[in-house]
């Protein structure tokens, strides 16, 4: 069973069923509230809710608008009404007015321009306030015709019709800090160059997998996800019944489950978290950080609760203080205790966990930290950089916690009653489509910016079909044809290897590149040169936005601008070397003026070796004395490759490999 399916099985059954957020839905959807941007040059959908059968009149008032800026309809049986205004010319500000019987709604300062959907995980969610040169960027953000709407995080078991309370913001120094950084820098360049208003609808959620963003119907057509989608639906239905039957909230039910089924949690305080608990019987040694199953501290086929403990000493100056416990990346659900007192829990299954320790809890001398995990499959444990696993008392240097810990199995989920869980805390399969995409339908858009993939690197091959399925699903539901879909390719990240390596990140980048090539109307923004080894959220979002804007200007607006670095086209083997041909090959060069780097070649043994590479006109020739009869070549095929191929645009070449490409056949061995 896939990890994503287990996530649904154990985390997506809700103790509290998430209904549509708008109990009394507004006359006009907040997508069209004050300061909204409507799509220019195409009939723009506008909708809301009124009493069934009520006649609804919608009018956009302002100079230079056509007669089609007004429309009338009748609210349906479910109360929803919808009209299309226009096509409308770029401009504004205008007044949007809706009347339905005795009810009226007005939205002021409405612009007409281009509307872009910004979606994905944390690098799209990442705000301007965290970007490079944030203070200067905010101070200079006087762009009142750029607008931003944050959809708000909503995990839902069924497709929702309303976003709830959300508002458009006008770009200004005091507001821009919360805008999606990649989206803002994209919008800023487009607005400068096109001189039209730009609206950004930011529907993104950090740490999420792509399958969270796809409808259940689309997932049901994919063999890897059909069972998970069906399980999710079954559990959502069951959750309603369970909530009604028990009358208890999730926190109460899950606390009762642990006390009844997990021996380490069977009391208050939890007995296995109390200082001085004997660890001779049933406990074993483990060194952390580690993946517990890989280190054999936990059996490979075990799913259930696992406890970790460590005693550590603090100086006298720490007595009576609070601090910060850094558990680095915690794999699977977890809870933590310090000196027997709970300091919080998390249902995130793969998250960097820093937990505040309350004042008064730390002691001079011996202290105890305990962690309870719910171990599913794969990489259960505490992983990350050993030097970051630490307790930091307030005003004191960090005290390292890496090294020797104690570990003990708790209870196996297979032998216990079903664990209470909820889908509205941790995004599961299809849940963000339900809560954060469905409410946007059928918003009229120019296109979509997609910045996601980090959370799917454990299933990069699967992403080859998943991403195209997502694109097709969204295009079908927005019902505007093959609207542009611009993909940010994953950047360089993590440590730089000294040998040619396999790389899940490289495989995910390849899946993104294949989608951009194969799916009409898609394009790829390559960022292999602007990532950061130690930061999964690189700060240079200005360049991400610029590269997305170049793609949009060239591919969407048909302006004569260069938008792509070299892209692999084909190879030929010439004796002991491989000649590589590229699209966008004008002005091939090494970005730093040095020798080309990042190339490897392999012979029939499929063992890749570093290659010397040289420019030869519009081609690159790569060879290695260790590979006298090369068959295939790779470029920038690593988590954080040293690579420098560019073209006259100054944009980087996209990573590639020819050993998984039409026309390359490995010799029989």
CB count, 10 Å around CB of 142? 10
Alpha-carbon distances, residue 135 vs 76, 183, 537, 562 (angstroms): 49, 18, 18, 30
Contacts of 15 (CB under 8 A, 6+ apart): 239, 242, 243, 248, 249, 250, 253, 254, 420, 421, 422
- Beta pairing partners, 95: 61
Dihedral angle at the C-alpha atoms of 398, 404, 405, 407, nearest 10 degrees?
Answer: 160
Please give the class, per CATH, of domain 114-215+431-556. alpha beta
3-state secondary structure of 182: helix
Alpha-carbon span 209 to 510, nearest angstrom = 17
CATH 2.60.120.260: which residues of the chain?
251-415
Determine the pLDDT at residue 241.
77
- Give the CA count within 13 Å in the CB-facing half-sphere of 379: 13
Determine the pLDDT at residue 16.
32
pTM: 0.81
Dihedral angle at the C-alpha atoms of 359, 363, 367, 368, nearest 10 degrees?
Answer: -30
Residue 415 has pLDDT above 50, yes or no: yes
Determine the pLDDT at residue 348.
62
Q: What confidence tier does 512 reach under pLDDT thresholds 50, 70, 90?
A: very high
Residue 666 has pLDDT above 70, yes or no: no
Q: What confidence tier does 1 reach under pLDDT thresholds 50, 70, 90?
A: very low
With b meaning 16 or more CB within 10 Å and e meaning fewer, what string describes 148-170? bbbbbbbbbbbbbbbbbebebbb
Decide if 93 contacts 110 (C-beta within 8 A).
yes
Alpha-carbon span 218 to 238, nearest angstrom = 22
Least confident of 144-148, 281-285, 353-357: 353-357
Decide if 91 contacts 64 (C-beta within 8 A).
yes
Determine the pLDDT at residue 247.
82
Determine the pLDDT at residue 322.
93
Determine the pLDDT at residue 344.
85
CB count, 10 Å around CB of 575? 9
Apex 400 CA angle, 395 and 404, nearest 5: 150
Residues 209-223, mean pLDDT to the nearest whole number: 96
Alpha-carbon span 202 to 209, nearest angstrom = 17
Q: 278-329: per-residue pLDDT in tens?
A: 888 899 999 999 988 888 889 988 999 999 999 999 999 999 999 999 988 7
Q: What confidence tier does 253 reach under pLDDT thresholds 50, 70, 90?
A: confident
Of the candidates 582, 606, 600, the one whose C-alpha atom is nearest the C-alpha of residue 642 is 600
Determine the pLDDT at residue 423.
62
Q: What confidence tier does 146 reach under pLDDT thresholds 50, 70, 90?
A: very high
Q: 367-404: per-residue pLDDT in tens?
A: 999 999 988 765 688 888 899 899 999 999 999 999 99
Q: 617-629: per-residue pLDDT in tens?
A: 999 999 999 999 9
Q: What confidence tier does 12 reach under pLDDT thresholds 50, 70, 90?
A: very low
Determine the pLDDT at residue 295.
86
Least confident of 243-252, 353-362, 434-443: 243-252
Determine the pLDDT at residue 238.
74
Burial label for 268, CB within 10 Å (0-12, 13-18, 19+), is: exposed
Residue 9 has pLDDT above 90, yes or no: no
CATH 3.40.50.1110: which residues of the chain?
114-215+431-556
Apex 39 CA angle, 36 and 43, nearest 5: 125
Q: 42-93: per-residue pLDDT in tens?
A: 999 999 999 999 999 999 999 999 999 999 999 999 999 999 999 999 999 9
Question: Scanning the structure block, which residue is given the tokens 């302002």?
Answer: 62
**Whole-number average pLDDT of the chain:** 90
Determine the pLDDT at residue 15.
29
Of the candidates 312, 356, 358, 350, the one whose C-alpha atom is nearest the C-alpha of residue 334 is 350
Contacts of 133 (CB under 8 A, 6+ apart): 542
Burial label for 416, CB within 10 Å (0-12, 13-18, 19+), is: middle
**Percent of the chain surpassing pLDDT 90:** 76
Q: 565-600: per-residue pLDDT in tens?
A: 999 999 999 999 999 999 999 999 999 999 999 999
Determine the pLDDT at residue 350.
52
Q: What confidence tier does 232 reach under pLDDT thresholds 50, 70, 90?
A: confident
Residue 448 has pLDDT above 80, yes or no: yes
Alpha-carbon span 431 to 13, nearest angstrom = 12
Contacts of 218 (CB under 8 A, 6+ apart): 469, 470, 472, 473
Alpha-carbon distances, residue 294 vs 290, 377, 380, 493 (angstroms): 8, 11, 9, 23
Of the candidates 54, 117, 49, 58, the one whose C-alpha atom is nearest the C-alpha of residue 83 is 58
Determine the pLDDT at residue 24.
65
Q: What confidence tier does 196 reach under pLDDT thresholds 50, 70, 90?
A: very high
Characterise 634 by phi-psi region: left (phi > 0), alpha (psi -120 to 50), beta (else).
beta
CATH architecture of 251-415: Sandwich (2.60)
Residues 638-642, mean pLDDT to the nearest whole number: 96
CB count, 10 Å around CB of 103? 14
Q: What confidence tier does 174 reach under pLDDT thresholds 50, 70, 90?
A: very high
Burial label for 359, CB within 10 Å (0-12, 13-18, 19+), is: exposed
């Amino acid at each position: 069973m896939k990890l994503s399916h287990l996530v649904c099985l154990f985390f997506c059954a809700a103790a509290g069923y998430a209904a549509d957020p708008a109990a009394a839905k507004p006359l006009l959807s907040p997508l069209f509230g004050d300061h909204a941007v409507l799509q220019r040059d195409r009939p723009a959908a506008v909708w809301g809710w009124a009493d069934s059968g009520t006649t609804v009149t919608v009018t956009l008032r302002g100079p230079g608008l056509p007669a089609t800026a007004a429309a009338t309809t009748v609210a349906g049986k479910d109360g929803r009404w919808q009209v299309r205004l226009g096509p409308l010319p770029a401009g504004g500000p205008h007044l949007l007015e809706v009347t339905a019987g005795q009810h009226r709604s007005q939205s002021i300062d409405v612009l007409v321009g281009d509307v872009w959907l910004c979606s994905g995980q944390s690098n799209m969610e990442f705000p301007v306030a965290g970007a490079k040169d944030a203070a200067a960027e905010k101070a200079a953000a006087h762009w009142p015709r750029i607008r931003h709407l944050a959809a708000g995080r909503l995990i839902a078991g069924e497709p929702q019709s309303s976003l709830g309370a959300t508002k458009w913001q006008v770009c200004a120094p005091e507001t821009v800090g919360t805008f999606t950084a990649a989206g803002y820098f994209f919008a800023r360049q487009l607005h400068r160059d096109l001189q039209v208003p730009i609206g950004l609808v930011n529907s993104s959620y950090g740490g999420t997998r792509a399958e969270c963003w796809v409808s259940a119907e689309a997932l049901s057509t994919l063999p890897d996800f059909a069972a998970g989608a069906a399980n999710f639906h079954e559990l959502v239905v069951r959750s309603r019944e369970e909530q009604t039957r028990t009358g208890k909230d999730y926190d109460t039910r899950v606390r009762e489950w642990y006390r009844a089924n997990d021996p380490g949690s069977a009391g208050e305080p939890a007995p296995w978290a109390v200082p001085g608990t004997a660890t001779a019987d049933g406990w074993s040694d483990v060194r952390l950080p580690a993946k517990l199953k890989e280190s054999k501290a936990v059996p490979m086929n075990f799913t259930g609760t696992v406890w970790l403990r460590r005693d550590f000493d603090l100086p006298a100056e720490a007595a009576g203080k609070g601090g910060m416990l850094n558990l680095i990346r915690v794999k699977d659900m977890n809870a933590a205790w310090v000196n027997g007192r709970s300091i919080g829990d998390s249902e995130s299954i793969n998250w960097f966990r820093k937990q505040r320790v309350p004042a008064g809890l730390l002691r001079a001398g011996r202290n105890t930290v305990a962690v309870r995990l719910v171990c599913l499959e794969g990489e259960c444990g505490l992983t990350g950089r050993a030097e970051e696993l630490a307790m930091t008392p307030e005003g004191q240097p960090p005290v390292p916690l890496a090294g020797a810990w104690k570990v003990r199995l708790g209870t196996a989920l297979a032998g216990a009653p079903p664990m209470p869980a909820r889908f509205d805390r941790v995004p599961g399969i299809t849940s963000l489509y339900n809560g954060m995409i469905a409410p946007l339908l059928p918003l009229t858009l120019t296109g979509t910016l997609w910045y996601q993939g980090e959370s799917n690197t454990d299933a990069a091959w699967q992403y080859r079909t998943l991403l195209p399925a997502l694109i097709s699903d969204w295009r079908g539901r927005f019902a505007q044809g093959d609207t542009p879909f611009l993909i940010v390719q994953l950047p360089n990240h993590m440590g730089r290897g000294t040998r040619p390596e396999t790389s899940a990140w490289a495989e995910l980048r390849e899946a993104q590149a294949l989608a951009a090539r194969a799916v009409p109307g898609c394009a790829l923004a390559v960022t292999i040169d602007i990532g950061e080894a130690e930061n999964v959220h690189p700060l240079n979002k200005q360049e991400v936005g610029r590269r997305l804007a170049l793609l949009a200007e060239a591919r969407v607006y048909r302006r004569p601008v260069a938008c792509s670095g070299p892209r692999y086209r084909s190879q030929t083997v010439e004796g002991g070397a491989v000649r590589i041909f590229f699209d966008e090959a004008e002005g091939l060069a090494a970005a730093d003026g040095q020798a080309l780097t990042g190339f490897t070649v392999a012979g029939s043994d499929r063992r890749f070796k570093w290659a010397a590479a040289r420019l030869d006109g519009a081609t690159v020739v790569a060879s290695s004395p260790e590979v006298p009869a090369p068959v295939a070549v790779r470029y920038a095929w690593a988590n954080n490759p040293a690579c420098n191929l560019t073209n006259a645009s100054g944009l980087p070449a996209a990573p590639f490999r020819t050993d998984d490409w039409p026309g390359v056949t490995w010799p029989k061995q």
